[in-house]
Amino acid sequence: MIETGLSGRVVVVTGAAAGIGRATARRFAEEGARVAAWDVNWGADGNGSNGGAAVAAELTAAGGEAFVQTVDVTDADAVADAVEAVAERWGAVGVLVNNAGIVRDAQLVKAKDGEVVKTMSDAAFDAVVDVNLRGVFHATRAVVPGMIAAGGGVILSASSVVGLYGNFGQTNYVATKAGVIGMTRVWARELGRYRIRANAVAPGFVKTEILAAMPDKVLEGMVSHTPIGRMGESADVAEAYLWLASDAASFVTGAVLSVDGGLVVGT
């Protein structure tokens, strides 16, 4: 058993209403952490307006403390206010998990019989950059001053296997997931002197809502290239965040941890 040092730590998880974020919030709660769960839409898991209460109950039952906040990470002021509310309740944020993310897939230029039939729209590009890249920037900028004052912290961000090797139909998404790796490396360099570590996690294909629009054929193809031979579970990724946040990883910074069943080497 590893000593995580996470009991009582103040942890913010963005996009915590569903999928990987929800599993991650729960995993930190199991360690006795104080978890501020952020999401723009607490109905995201199909529980309607009760979604936030359900997550709060889940985190408390798991053994943590819960603070459910409605926060759109694209809104810098809302993010700053939410960090302030966390600080007032529990003190400085010790761990930030930048998990919130969206997709708006389209080919850059789709042609049929030599004619262009569709292109990726500016709106699709901007929406994904706003959440997946700017949102990470907003949240990290908002928590770092408190971490510096407190003498340390951990920034963890969601990249993706596709940020490492690209993916058909994902110009916007891949740009953000590669960008997250770039920002993580900058922050490892800039913030190490304050005992703040910054790492990224690059999941493979994990069974969540975000894959809803992806054809089964594509997903089956991905599994066939995955040495471990299955899709990922949200809990697989949650474990990686937990370890990276823990004291056991105190010399790990600037890293990109693949949690993909070997997909990146199997391709």
Let me know: does 8 contact 41? Beta carbons within 8 Å: no
Nearer to ligand NAD, 195 or 239 (CB): 239
Single residue of 40, 55, 154, 181 touching ligand NAD by CB under 6 A:
40
Give the active site residues: 173
Binding mask 88-107 for ligand NAD (x = CB under 6 A): -----------xxxx-----
Let me know: does 72 contact 46? Beta carbons within 8 Å: no
Nearer to ligand NAD, 17 or 95 (CB): 17
CB of 22 to ligand NAD, least distance (A): 7
User: Which one of 121-129, 182-190, 201-209, 218-226 is the stretch in contact with ligand NAD (CB under 6 A)?
Assistant: 201-209
CB of 125 to ligand NAD, least distance (A): 15
Cα gap 44→209, rounded to integer Å: 9
Q: 3-class secondary structure for 160-182? A: CHHHHHCCCCEHHHHHHHHHHHH
Other Cβ atoms closer than 10 A to 203: 24
Cα gap 22→37, rounded to integer Å: 8
Nearer to ligand NAD, 74 or 246 (CB): 74
Question: Restricting to residues 153-172, which ones interact with ligand NAD according to CB under 6 A?
Answer: 158, 160
Single residue of 97, 120, 147, 206 touching ligand NAD by CB under 6 A:
206
Query: Which residue in the block uniquely carries the two structure tokens 């891949």?
Result: 174
Structure letter (DSSP) for residue 75: -
Let me know: does 45 contact 23? Beta carbons within 8 Å: no
Written as one letter, the residue type at 111 is A
CB of 110 to ligand NAD, least distance (A): 23
Single residue of 203, 226, 238, 242 touching ligand NAD by CB under 6 A:
203
Nearer to ligand NAD, 68 or 210 (CB): 210
Written as one letter, the residue type at 146 is G
Question: Restricting to residues 13-32, which ones interact with ligand NAD according to CB under 6 A?
Answer: 14-15, 17-21
Backbone φ and ψ of 92, nearest 5°: -65, 150
* Cα torsion angle, 174, 176, 182, 185, sign: negative
User: Which one of 10-18, 106-114, 138-146, 192-200 is the stretch in contact with ligand NAD (CB under 6 A)?
Assistant: 10-18
CB of 200 to ligand NAD, least distance (A): 10
Q: Which residues contact 82 (CB under 8 A, 6 or more apart)?
A: 12, 36, 38, 69, 71, 142
Other Cβ atoms closer than 10 A to 135: 28
Nearer to ligand NAD, 101 or 153 (CB): 101
Nearer to ligand NAD, 6 or 133 (CB): 133
Single residue of 39, 153, 164, 188 touching ligand NAD by CB under 6 A:
39
Let me know: does 162 contact 174? Beta carbons within 8 Å: yes
Which residues bind to ligand NAD, rule: CB under 6 A? 14-15, 17-21, 38-41, 44, 71-74, 99-102, 131, 135, 158, 160, 203, 205-206, 208-211
